[in-house]
Amino acid sequence: VSSTPATPRVERIPAGEGAIWVGEGLLRDASRYLVSPSGRFLLVSPASARSASDPIRKALGSAVLLDFEIEDGEAAKSLANVEKISEAALAAGLRRDDAFVAVGGGVATDVTGFAAAILLRGVAWNAVPTTTAGMADAAIGGKTAVNHPRGKNLLGAFHPPRAVLSDPVCLATLPDRDYRAGLVEAYKAAWVADPELSSRASESLSAVLERDGAALVALLAGAARVKIGIVETDPRDAGRRHLLNFGHTLGHALEGAVPWGTLRHGEAVAWGIAAALEISKRRAGLSEQDAAAIRRTLSRLGPFPQPERDPKKLAPLLALDKKATAAGTAGVLLEEIGRARVEPSVPIPEWLDAAAIMSLS
């Protein structure tokens, strides 16, 4: 009988032709999970993700063909960085059957995934998200993109990673504000589609806030399962995938109403959810009890900075929404915790009223 310590639980979530793995300490065994047809890997990561890239570097050893450091932060999600990655990969001798490993937050996985989508007309890639936003959202579902001076995510491709490795151990170095803002997306996934996950995740909130590994594995695996389940019924983003935009209609407007970076994306979504709860009570029969339970969770994930509520600033931003028409703009409404639907047209004044009264306590 060997005396090796019990292996912590690793969750495997099938995702298209690949899989999402969520588990504590799994990066040490990265070579078991990462996929490359040739066996060779091109590692791309920013310095901020060292807590994840170091164990991977060690696990892959001589299978690493290229070890390339990129900048991160939203400004790094650019075509210029795709070119830098491409130049380094081609200079290293990239072949059709090699694979990238993108290690980092949503910026690193989006930019590297897009480079993988276009290099040699597409090579395989793996995602190792190192932020809560990345594990719950950005690394899942196969969308890759970079920004254009005219707007966010305007250049991109659908190119799902072959493997996603989410190891909560690497979240230890993530600043608290990014940590909490990203968790909003994980709870959002539960609220739109999974009542059991919602109740388990609200019970484990204290442990999640303490960055407890087992609680994070359960929440992040659950959120990934919800997202991949929705994406696989709507891979090209034509309908059901919109459910994942719960809180995002007003959230995007709130994010755009203040100087870039003032409000984290997840913080804006938290306020957007608070507003959507008000509209859901009126239009979708959401009970005040369910709305209050969600507000309680959001307030414990915060406190989040107060958003802009001036209707004169928010109205033009709401009208810019991709799904806006003269009659209003689409919104995701909650019927009860764990069940959401898309409302094709909510008049802009209703969003503005909800923004005026929304609260997180």
Q: What's the closest the beta carbon of residue 58 comes to ligand NAD, in angstroms?
A: 17
Contact 263, 255 (CB under 8 A): yes
First to last CA, the chain: 54
Total residues interacting with ligand NAD, rule: CB under 6 A: 28
350 scored as a contact of ligand NAD (CB under 6 A): no
Residue closer to ligand NAD by CB (options 249, 350) is 249
Q: Residue 127, SS3? A: strand
Least distance in Å: CB of 114 to ligand NAD? 9
What's the token pair of residue 189?
A: 């996934």
State which residue, 112 or 130, has the beta carbon closest to ligand NAD.
130
**Phi/psi at 357 (5° precision):** -105, -10
What counts of helices (H) and strands (E) characterise the chain?
14, 12
Give dist(CA 29, CA 53) in Å, integer.
12
Residues 318 and 355 sit within 8 Å (Cβ to Cβ): no
Q: How far is CA 144 from CA 14, 108, 141, 303, in A?
A: 19, 10, 9, 31
By CB under 6 A, is residue 262 in contact with ligand NAD?
no
Interacting residue with ligand NAD among 11, 98, 137, 194 (CB under 6 A): 137
Query: Dihedral angle at the C-alpha atoms of 78, 320, 303, 187, nearest 10 degrees?
Result: -80
Give the 3-state secondary structure of residue 221: helix
Q: What is the nearest approach in angstroms of ligand NAD to the Cβ of residue 200?
A: 23
Residues 33-72 contacting ligand NAD, CB under 6 A: 46, 48-49, 51, 72
- Between 40 and 227, name the residue whose CB sits nearer to ligand NAD: 227
Q: Which of 249, 125, 100, 244 is nearest to 186 (CA)?
A: 244
Say which DSSP state 203 is in: H
Neighbours of 232 (CB within 10 A): 15
How far is Cα 160 from Cα 173, in angstroms, rounded to an integer? 27
Could you tell me the two tokens for 6?
A: 């019990």
CB of 257 to ligand NAD, least distance (A): 18
Binding of residue 130 to ligand NAD (CB under 6 A): yes
Judged by CB, which is closer to ligand NAD: 104, or 328? 104
| Residue 134 binds ligand NAD (CB under 6 A) | yes
The least distance separating ligand NAD from the CB of residue 349, rounded to whole angstroms, comes to 29
Closest contact distance (angstroms) between CB of 127 and ligand NAD is 9
* Stretch of 6-14, 26-34, 103-111, 196-204 lying at the interface with ligand NAD (CB under 6 A): 103-111
Residues 151-210 interacting with ligand NAD (rule: CB under 6 A):
153, 170, 173-174, 178, 182
| β-pair type (18-23, 41-45) | unpaired
Choosing from 18, 55, 141, 168, the residue that interacts with ligand NAD (CB under 6 A) is: 141
Separation CA 112–CA 107 (nearest Å): 8
Residue choice 15, 107, 220, 279 for contact with ligand NAD (CB under 6 A)? 107
CB 139 to ligand NAD: min, Å: 7
Residue in 18, 106, 160, 247 binding ligand NAD, rule: CB under 6 A: 106
Instruction: Give the footprint of ligand NAD on residues 71-90 (CB under 6 A).
Output: 72-74, 77
Residue 40 vs 241, nearer CB to ligand NAD? 241
Q: Angle, to 10 degrees, between the axis of helix 288-301 and the axis of helix 195-203?
A: 50
Q: Which residues bind ligand NAD (CB under 6 A)?
A: 46, 48-49, 51, 72-74, 77, 104-108, 110, 130-131, 133-134, 137-138, 141, 143, 153, 170, 173-174, 178, 182
